[in-house]
Amino acid sequence: MNEIERETQFILKKYNIKANKSLGQNFLISEEVVNKIVESSNITKKDLVIEIGPGLGTLTKELLDSANKVICVELDKRMVEILKDRFKLYSNFELLNQDILKTDLKNIIEKEKQSKEIENVKIVANLPYYITTPIIMKLLEEKLDLESITVMIQKEVADRLTAIPGEKNTGAITYSVYYYAEAKEIMEVPSYSFIPEPEVTSEVIQLKVRKELKVKTQNEKMMFKIIKNSFTQRRKTLLNALTNTKIFKEKNTGIEILKKLNISENARAEELTLEQFAQIADEIS
Ligand code: SAM
């Protein structure tokens, strides 16, 4: 048993608590993984780190030593009591007992960035898996002033998020992530690295948030609507999927638009690049 595992068992016993499955509580107990997450986040004393779901504070402890400030957002009151106790001597620790999906991150980041000491804001987390996608989409769609997002998620989702549009393993979410960020895989994490063990293999990924969006479109909303509708009917051709969902008013309009953009009438969603979806959106707009 390593030190992190001993410490985790000790805290769980001391406070007499069991992991709450419905809150996605799987506590990290691998030193190697904790070190890799912290090291790949490249944290300096000029960084504000926002940690989502700190749990018992395993990652938090390391983050507090490297960052200028760490703001943790944790929903479970029991964890909040433990964290307050554990880090009461740290002046750079702040804790919000909130649902991350309802947290006004834009406001928090704007306020913190007024301090001269903080240059970059980084998200680091071992995410609760039941809301992986909404959390990541919130972080990206709110166009927060973030440098990077380093998170542990299910491997299956990681594969989709780090895929390249037009290549294998893509879904609608691949295109959204690619629009806002550059994604890479950091390490695969077996289920025995947590207690309790999750039912799936995990992976740490990193999203470097783009300073400039990947493509330019006059109608971002329409572009994402097209992507979503094309992938909902991914077995159909793009032409049929977009005609069925009334994005192309008529099939003939669709044929004309695709012809103009040099896209085959038989193409399916996964064969398109993000630029091509942007072009379709612009044509429709
Ligand atoms: N960071 C800890 C670790 O690595 O051992 C715990 C990670 S655990 C996978 C996910 C954490 O997210 C839990 O502490 C859980 O209570 C918290 N959580 C679940 N839903 C949340 C939400 N909506 N907002 C904030 N935290 C949440």
Q: What is the mean pLDDT of residues 153-175?
A: 94
- Locate the ligand 1 atom nearest the alpha carbon of residue 125 and give its number: 1
Is residue 83 pLDDT above 90, yes or no? yes
Taking CA atoms only, the protein residue closest to ligand 1 atom 20 is: 23
Say how many domains are in the chain: 2
Query: Domain residues for 52?
Result: 3-209
* CATH classification of the domain holding 276: 1.10.8.100
pLDDT at 257: 96
Statement to judge: residues 226 and 157 lie in one domain: no
Q: Are residues 17 and 127 in the same domain?
A: yes
The confidence band for 61, taking pLDDT boundaries of 50, 70 and 90, is very high
Is there a single domain that holds both residue 163 and residue 103?
Answer: yes
pLDDT of 39 > 90? The answer is yes
Residue 252 forms part of a structural domain: yes
* Shared domain check, 226 and 194: no
Spatial distance between the Cα atoms of 49 and 150, rounded to a whole number of angstroms: 11
- The residue-averaged pLDDT of 24-53 equals 97
Are 200 and 137 within one domain? yes
Q: What is the CA radius of gyration of the chain?
A: 21
Give the pLDDT score at 233: 87
Average pLDDT over residues 116-138: 97
At residue 285, the pLDDT reads 84
**Ligand 1: residues within 6 Å at CB?**
23-28, 52-56, 58-59, 73-76, 79, 99-101, 126, 128, 131
Q: Are residues 125 and 64 in the same domain?
A: yes
Nearest residue (by CA) to ligand 1, atom 1, is 54
d(CA 54, CA 226): 36
Q: Answer yes or no: is pLDDT of 106 > 90.
A: yes
Q: Are strands 47-52 and 69-73 parallel, antiparallel or unpaired?
A: parallel
For a mutational test of ligand 1's pocket, the pick from 5, 64, 76, i.e. the residue with the most ligand atoms closer than 8 A to its C-beta, is 76
**What pLDDT is attached to residue 46?**
97
Shared-domain flag, residues 242 and 202: no
Q: Confidence band (pLDDT; 50, 70, 90) for 220? A: very high
pLDDT at residue 214 is higher than 90: no
